[in-house]
């Protein structure tokens, strides 16, 4: 038997927040029957845009059920910005820890949450879309996802990566690729670490903002026929202007907060405040 | 809470008679059977008695029985010892063998042997055409399990043995899951080597035997002393050998009980299939050992089922990924092509002569609630 904590067993035996919310604000579905576990997460926001209600359905083992149940308890009452910051480690910690080989259950929770938030922000794709190059074809795990678990959890071996996201757990042909990804990330880390964080120059900041808009923000808006233009950068104040459908959209203020600002926080700086330009 | 133990293909309870037979060999008769004094030497005749009982259970001559530490050691000895000494370049086995067989075969493959794994159909039956074809390429070492540990499906070992031997090969069978459940007779089914294990037939863990037909060359695995007629070195594990002898004697006596076990197994199977929708039996229900059933519960996962069963005192096992120690369902279930929708929720119940009707009724009564609870949680229902 697995060495599950009492909290894991409690959430397995008495799962909280089971079911689906009709007319949910966000829905995220990850995993599949073939993968051996799957999770559907739905949430509804209150008028203050906090997660008022959240429900889950899970196909999987005891720790998959417990991780899903824990996730719902963790994010209830959070704002979207707060929920974005929930990591798989938060889920494992909430349960008093998970066996190493079961960490992928906590990662599945985090992925479902991200997918549901993305669905809320863009109104599209309740299912997780495989973005980028698939490394593990047995379990459909992309290079991005592997990088993510390696970075988030400071993983150092292929075996750990398999425990966290299943990649490499099937035929094993992708193990050299996983090894390469780990080496790249760990090498980059050792390169970075000695240098103390340097303040970005305003020019670097503008470039990074432009790149982030191009890579992360514009594609999301374009799906709805919208667009965005960078007007000015004054310290941490970023002035933008919506174009196309976004200009007329009455949920634009939400898009501003939950897409534009969130992405710039993630990729540029936490201190950035985005405002819509009058021009 | 009372334990309802339905995991007898994993291990069995030690029969009280077996324990009683063993105890004097810890307390009084603890001498070394190889000694040149009566205190030790008298133990040798008890070992000889145990050897006779093991031989009698499978229709062998006592001189053809070698005591080992477990089924895995017997399989390793038979496979590596025979392939190496006979110089076979080809090894033929099935895709659904126990790891104790597959791992030594793959080891020999890495050393340069040809290695053919014969496929099975959706009922777990061996593909005899593929086997015939593989055998037509010249003499080979063939190893096929008599009964499958996960599904209970039996291979036609007699027919396979005849095919292997007429092609000039040597035939080994892992009969760990067959011995004690069905009549196994090496005169009737002329295999060259056969593995049996103590703890599957109500002897303790840590004792097994390898049958080696007279005239069959097998290089010893353990080197050292002259014990076991120089076929397995190491001072004899006397109490456990005595225990295995007693267990084999009891198994022969109780073979007739297997009809009752089969009836209980069938009752369990029918009961679960009729009370739980979207369930199906994995494996050939005709050629199957009497104590095993493997049932898939769709849309739910095996480990979760086992934990709920365990909370109710019921012990079973699963071929699901989470319990197989890997991320994929068991190789047996996959080899049979069972769809993933069913594979992850496969549960094996394996009975013994100690299983009671009351216990079976208890499981039939409790299972629907567990299935319902987990399906209520599942996004696929």
Q: Among the listed ranges A182-196, B92-106, B313-327, which one has the minimum average pLDDT value?
A: A182-196
Provide the whole-model pTM: 0.82
**A128-132, A184-188, B155-159, B198-202 — which is least confidently predicted?**
A128-132
Sort out which chain B residues have CB atoms less than 8 A from A138's CB and list them: 328
Task: Say whether pLDDT at B125 is over 80.
Answer: yes
Chain A CB contacts of B377 below 8 Å: 15, 18, 57-59, 65
How many Å apart are CA B104 and CA B67, to the nearest integer?
19
pLDDT at B339: 86
* pLDDT score at B325: 64
Question: What is the Cα–Cα distance from A187 to A179, expressed in whole angstroms?
Answer: 12
- Answer for the pair B100, B75: CB distance below 8 angstroms, yes or no: yes
> How far, in Å, CA of A27 to CA of B220, rounded?
62
B354 close contact with A: CB closer than 8 A: no
Of A50-54, A270-274, B68-72, B166-170, minimum mean pLDDT range: A270-274
> Is residue B84 over pLDDT 80?
yes
Give the model's pLDDT for residue A130.
67
The yes-or-no verdict on residue B40 having pLDDT over 70 is yes
Q: What is the percent of chain A where pLDDT is above 70? A: 94
Residue B217 has pLDDT above 60, yes or no: yes
Q: Please indicate whether residue A246 is annotated as part of the active site.
A: no
Q: What is the pLDDT of residue A258?
A: 79
Chain A with chain B: Cβ pairs closer than 8 A: 68
A16 min Cα distance to partner chain B (Å): 11
> How far apart are the CA of B344 and the nearest CA of chain A, in angstroms?
6
Whether B131 shows a pLDDT value over 80: the answer reads: yes
Q: For A48-94, how does the pLDDT look when each residue is reduced to its tens digit (9 = 90+)?
A: 999 999 999 999 999 999 999 999 999 999 999 999 999 999 999 99
For A58, which residue in chain B has the nearest alpha carbon? B378
B299 → closest Cβ in A18, A59, A65? A59
As a whole number, the mean pLDDT across chain B is 96
Please name the helix (run of DSSP H) or strand (run of DSSP E) that holds residue A229, with its range, or none.
strand A226-234
Write down the residue that tokens 């890579």 correspond to: A215
pLDDT above 70 (res B313)? yes
- pLDDT value at B231 more than 90: yes
Burial label, A43 (beta-carbon count in 10 A; 0-12, 13-18, 19+): buried
Beta bridge partners of A244: A226
What is the residue-wise DSSP string for A31-83? EETTTTEEEEEEEEE-TTSBEEEEEEEEES-HHHHHHHHHHHHHHTT-BHHHH
Distance in angstroms (rounded) separating the CA atoms of residues B194 and B144: 10
Q: Which residues, at least 6 apart from B261, have a Cβ–Cβ distance to it below 8 Å?
A: B290, B291, B351, B352, B353, B355
Bridge partners (DSSP) listed for residue B280? B296
Say which residues have a Cβ less than 8 Å from residue B128's Cβ, sequence separation at least 6.
Answer: B156, B159
Strand partners, A45: A51
For B188-217, give the DSSP string: TS--SEEEEEGGGTTSPSS-EEEEE-TT--
Best to test chain A binding among B306, B314, B322, B330 (most A CBs inside 10 Å): B322
- In this prediction, residue A18 carries a pLDDT of 97
pLDDT recorded at residue A197: 55
E strand segments, B234-374 = 279-281, 292-297, 314-315, 317-318, 346-350
Maximal C-alpha separation, chain A: 64
**What is the nearest CA distance from B381 to chain A, expressed in angstroms?**
10
Give the model's pLDDT for residue B169.
Answer: 95
The first and second tokens of residue A141, run together, are 């795990």
B167 and B135 Cβ atoms separated by less than 8 Å: yes
* Interchain contact B373–A (C-beta under 8 A): no
Element at B5 (helix H, strand E): strand B4-5
3-state secondary structure of A102: helix
| pLDDT tops 60 at residue A3 | yes
Mean pLDDT of chain A: 88
Nearest-Cα residue of chain B relative to residue A34 = B340
Q: Which of A35, A136, A174, A246 is catalytic?
A: A35
Least CB-CB distance to A62: which of B303, B328, B340? B303
CA atoms of A193 and A88, how far apart (whole Å): 24
The helix, strand and coil proportions of chain B, stated in percent and rounded to the nearest 5, come to 45, 15, 40
What is the distance between the alpha carbons of residues A170 and A173, in angstroms, rounded to a whole number?
8
The CA-atom distances, in angstroms, between B381 and each of A264, B188, B378 are 40, 50, 6
Q: Which residues of B are less than 8 Å from A64 in CB distance?
A: 301, 304
What is the mean predicted confidence (pLDDT) over B98-107? 96
Rounded average pLDDT over A201-220? 87
Q: What is the pLDDT of residue B45?
A: 96
Put simply, the answer to whether A33 touches B380 (Cβ < 8 Å) is yes
Of the pLDDT bands very low, low, confident and very high (cuts 50, 70, 90), residue A178 is very high
Token reading at A3: 């060495």
pLDDT of res. B19? 98
Structural contact between residues A44 and A24, judged by C-beta atoms closer than 8 angstroms: yes
Range 84-113 of B in CB contact (< 8 A) with A: none
Q: Residue A50: count other Cβ atoms within 10 Å of its Cβ.
A: 15
Short-list B330, B350, B343, B329, CA closest to B280: B343
Per-residue model confidence (pLDDT) at position B10: 96
What is the predicted pLDDT for the residue at A193?
A: 59
B327: nearest CA in chain A?
A169
| Confidence band for A194, pLDDT divided at 50, 70 and 90 | low
Between the alpha carbon of residue A181 and those of residues A105, A147, A156, B322, the distances in Å are 22, 7, 10, 26
Q: Is the dihedral of CA A85, B380, A166, A184 positive or negative?
A: negative
Which active-site residues of B does the annotation give?
A: 322
Q: What is the DSSP letter of B7?
A: B
A237-256: average pLDDT: 77
The confidence score (pLDDT) of residue B266 equals: 98
pLDDT at residue B270 greater than cutoff 90: yes
Among A161-170, B138-147, B286-295, the least confident range? A161-170
B64 vs A: CB within 8 A: no
Beta strands B279-281; B292-297: pairing state: antiparallel
Average pLDDT for A83-110? 94
Instruction: Give residue for tokens 């080891």.
Output: B107
User: Which residues in B lie closer than 8 A to residue A65 (C-beta atoms)?
Assistant: 304, 377
Res. B377 pLDDT band, cuts 50 70 90? very high
Please tell me what DSSP assigns to residue B354. T
Judged by a CB distance cut-off of 8 A, whether residue B236 touches chain A is no
User: What's residue A236's pLDDT?
Assistant: 86
- Nearest residue to B332 via CA among B150, B71, B157, B146: B150
**Cα-Cα-Cα-Cα dihedral of A11, A13, A16, A21, to 10°?**
130
Q: How close does chain A come to B54, measured CA to CA in Å?
A: 33
- Give phi and psi for B212, each to the nearest 5: -125, 110
As a whole number, mean pLDDT of residues B257-266 equals: 98
| Predicted pLDDT at B374 | 96
The pLDDT-based confidence of A277 (bands split at 50, 70, 90) is confident
CB B240 within 8 A of CB B207: yes
| A98's tokens | 């998970």
Single out the residue of B142, B85, B149 nearest to residue B116, CA to CA: B142
Per-position DSSP letters for A263-274, written without gaps between them: HHHHHT-TT-EE
Minimum distance, in Å, between the CA of residue A205 and any CA atom of chain B: 44
Report how far apart the first and last C-alpha atoms of chain A are (Å, whole number). Answer: 64
The tens digit of pLDDT for each residue in B235-261 reads: 999 999 999 999 999 999 999 999 999
What is the chain A residue with the closest CA to B320? Answer: A36
Cβ(B86)–Cβ(B218) below 8 Å: no
> Which of A6, A13, A60, A136 is the best substitution to test chain B (most B C-beta atoms within 10 A)?
A60
Q: Which residues of B touch A38 (CB under 8 A)?
A: 379-380
Name the nearest CA neighbour of B167 among B92, B247, B95, B256: B92
| Partner residue facing A36 (CB), from B327, B377, B380 | B327
By three-state DSSP, how is residue B66 classified? strand
């Amino acid at each position: 038997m697995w060495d599950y904590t009492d909290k894991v067993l409690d959430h397995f035996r008495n799962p909280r927040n089971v079911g689906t919310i009709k007319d949910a604000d966000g829905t995220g579905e990850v995993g599949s029957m073939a993968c051996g576990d799957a999770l559907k997460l739905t949430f509804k926001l209150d008028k203050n845009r906090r997660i008022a209600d959240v429900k889950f359905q899970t196909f999987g083992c005891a720790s998959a059920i417990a991780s899903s149940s824990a996730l719902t308890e963790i994010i209830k009452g959070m704002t979207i910005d707060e929920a974005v910051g929930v990591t798989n480690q938060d889920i494992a910690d909430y349960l008093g820890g998970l066996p190493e080989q079961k960490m992928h259950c906590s990662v599945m929770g985090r992925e479902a949450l991200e997918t549901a938030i993305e669905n809320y922000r863009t109104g599209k794709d309740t299912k997780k879309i495989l973005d980028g190059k698939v490394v593990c074809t047995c379990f459909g795990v992309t290079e991005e996802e592997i990088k993510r678990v390696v970075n988030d959890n400071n993983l150092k071996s292929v075996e750990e990566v398999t425990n966290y996201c299943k990649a490499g757990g099937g035929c094993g042909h992708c193990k050299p690729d996983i090894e390469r990804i780990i080496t790249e990330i760990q090498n980059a880390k050792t390169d970075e670490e000695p240098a103390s964080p340097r303040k970005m120059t305003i020019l670097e900041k503008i470039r990074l903002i432009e790149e982030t808009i191009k890579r992360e923000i514009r594609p999301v808006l374009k799906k709805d026929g919208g667009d965005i233009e960078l007007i000015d950068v004054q310290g941490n104040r970023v002035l933008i202007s919506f174009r196309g459908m976004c200009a007329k959209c009455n949920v634009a203020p939400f898009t501003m907060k939950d897409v534009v600002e969130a992405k710039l926080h993630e990729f540029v700086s936490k201190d950035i405040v985005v405002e819509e330009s009058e021009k | 809470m009372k334990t309802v133990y339905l995991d007898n293909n994993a291990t069995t309870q030690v029969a009280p008679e077996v324990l009683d037979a063993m105890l004097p060999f810890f307390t009084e008769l603890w001498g070394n059977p190889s000694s040149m004094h009566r205190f030790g030497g008298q133990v040798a005749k008890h070992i000889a008695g145990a050897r006779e009982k093991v031989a009698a259970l499978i229709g062998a001559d006592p001189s053809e029985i070698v005591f080992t530490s477990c089924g895995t050691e017997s399989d390793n000895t038979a496979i590596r010892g025979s392939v190496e000494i006979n110089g076979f370049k080809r090894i033929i086995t099935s895709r659904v063998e126990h790891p104790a067989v597959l791992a030594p075969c793959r080891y020999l493959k890495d050393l340069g042997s040809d290695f053919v794994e014969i496929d099975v159909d959706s009922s777990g039956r061996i593909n005899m055409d593929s086997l015939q074809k593989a055998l037509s390429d010249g003499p080979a070492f063939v190893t096929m399990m008599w009964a499958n540990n996960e599904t209970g499906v039996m291979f036609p070992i007699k027919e396979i043995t005849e095919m292997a031997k007429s092609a000039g090969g040597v035939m080994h069978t892992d009969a760990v899951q067959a011995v004690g459940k069905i009549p196994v007779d090496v005169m009737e089914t002329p295999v060259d080597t056969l593995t049996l294990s103590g703890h599957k037939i109500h002897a303790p863990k840590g004792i097994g035997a390898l049958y080696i037909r007279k005239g069959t060359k097998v290089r010893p695995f353990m080197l050292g002393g002259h014990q076991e007629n120089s076929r397995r070195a190491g001072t004899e594990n006397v109490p456990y050998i005595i225990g295995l002898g007693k267990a084999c004697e009891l198994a022969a006596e109780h073979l007739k009980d297997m009809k009752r076990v089969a009836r209980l197994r069938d009752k369990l199977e029918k009961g679960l299939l009729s009370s739980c929708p979207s369930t199906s039996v994995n494996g050939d229900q005709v050629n199957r050992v009497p104590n095993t059933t493997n049932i898939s519960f769709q849309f739910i996962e095996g480990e979760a089922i086992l934990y709920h069963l365990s909370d109710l005192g019921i012990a079973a096992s699963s071929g699901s990924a989470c319990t197989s120690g890997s991320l994929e369902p068991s190789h047996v279930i996959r080899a049979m092509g069972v769809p993933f929708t069913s594979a992850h929720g496969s549960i094996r119940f394996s009975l013994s002569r100690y299983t009671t009707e009351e216990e079976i009724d208890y499981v039939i009564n409790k299972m629907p609630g567990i299935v319902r609870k987990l399906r209520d949680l599942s996004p696929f229902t």
